[in-house]
Amino acid sequence: MIYEEPLDEAGRVLVLAGRCERTSAEIEELIGLYHRLGPTRCRVVARQNGSEALLGAALASVVPPQHFDPDWRGWLNENEARVRRLIEATRSVVERLESAACRVAVVESVGVLLQSALPPAAVGSHDADLLALPDDAEAIDEQLRLERFSPRSRRDYRTPMVEYGRDEADGTTTWINLYYQPFERVWTPLPYRDRNPVWLARRTRSPAPESLFVLDPADHLAHVSMHTAFHGFVRKPGFRLHADVDGLVRGNAIDWPRYLEEIRAMEVPIRAFVSLSMAAGLLGTPIPQEILRALYPGDQRWRALRTLLAHARAVSNGRPKLGPLRTALLDILLDERGAGSWAVSTLFPSEGWLRERYGHDRLAVAPTWRLYLERYRHALSSWRPE
């Protein structure tokens, strides 16, 4: 039931660094691998896996200062300062939203940082992600503008997520993303049940700063499990997402029955199983066996999923990831409804879904067939393999 993929020494450095907790033997192994591979090779692997911050912070915490790459250390110091500024901006925004009775919670990378033992220097994300309720969207927009944030989409398509940017005096831009639905794909509907209102109703204050709110750890783990699946387990940001699972599990007393209830309520047990299994296999994340057994999709499906993902690899070696055919196969294997329902919803999504995604501007009153054409045109012109 536990995922495996072949790892060379560079991959072993990454998975050891990705753990929020390491034994003394693992620390010694990590130091030895760093010296054997050298800082240049380690940093190349980190960049290939979107984990320059994660790997660098882990190595800097165990390698004697005189032996650690000074350029990497300088970069980590700058990254830590950047992340602290992002947290401070998020704190100011959340306090303003709370004063306007807008309920939000910090999730994904910054949320995991607030609920784990990760240091700020280890965070590679360049934006903060907030879950919010659709009914609060207008008030949230008003309050964010008072903080000098404005909507600035970095994508050429619509999603339920709204990106807000603020230009800073040093020439950088601070980004905060508002998610009014936790997950939604662009080109094909994503089958799951939204638990956003339930999660926000039982959010908690973060340990520090206390003015920020995070999800209950079991709810956040359900969110992160789905987020890992949302990115196909191996696509960017790839490995870093499995480290998020590890950070939440090791940093919190997870209410596992509650987690199981949430996954079943979301109707995504296969996606959750793969996410937990990969964290356990790659990072040694302590996932209870009874939870894995409860979510297990069966020998045949798991064998197909494991083979497909191990071929693509969560730990990148620079090769391309999933192409279009393997992406479709992965999506079919993850779909609880079966291949037939997957094909219907993929080829012929509902008119309501089409209009929400494509029925705007010049297509506001377009017939349904025109929206189908626009969808395929956009998918064919925008989708790129990694």
Q: Tell me, rounded to whole angstroms, the distance of Cα 168 from its chain centroid.
A: 26
For the cut 60, the answer to whether the pLDDT of residue 91 exceeds it is: yes
For the cut 70, the answer to whether the pLDDT of residue 383 exceeds it is: no
For the cut 90, the answer to whether the pLDDT of residue 386 exceeds it is: no
Cα(4)–Cα(1) distance, integer angstroms = 9
pLDDT score at 320: 73
Tokens 């992160």 -> residue = 224
* Residue 138, both tokens: 């207008």
pLDDT score at 279: 97
Domain extents in the chain: 9-348
Cα(35)–Cα(153) distance, integer angstroms = 43
Task: Assess contact for 62 and 27: CB atoms under 8 A.
Answer: yes
Per-chain mean pLDDT for the chain: 90
For the cut 70, the answer to whether the pLDDT of residue 338 exceeds it is: yes
For the cut 70, the answer to whether the pLDDT of residue 297 exceeds it is: yes
Residues with Cβ within 8 Å of 150's Cβ and at least 6 positions away in sequence, in order, are 144, 164, 165, 166
Q: Specify the higher pLDDT residue, 27 or 188.
A: 27
For the cut 70, the answer to whether the pLDDT of residue 156 exceeds it is: no
Q: 61-84: per-residue pLDDT in tens?
A: 999 999 999 999 999 999 999 999
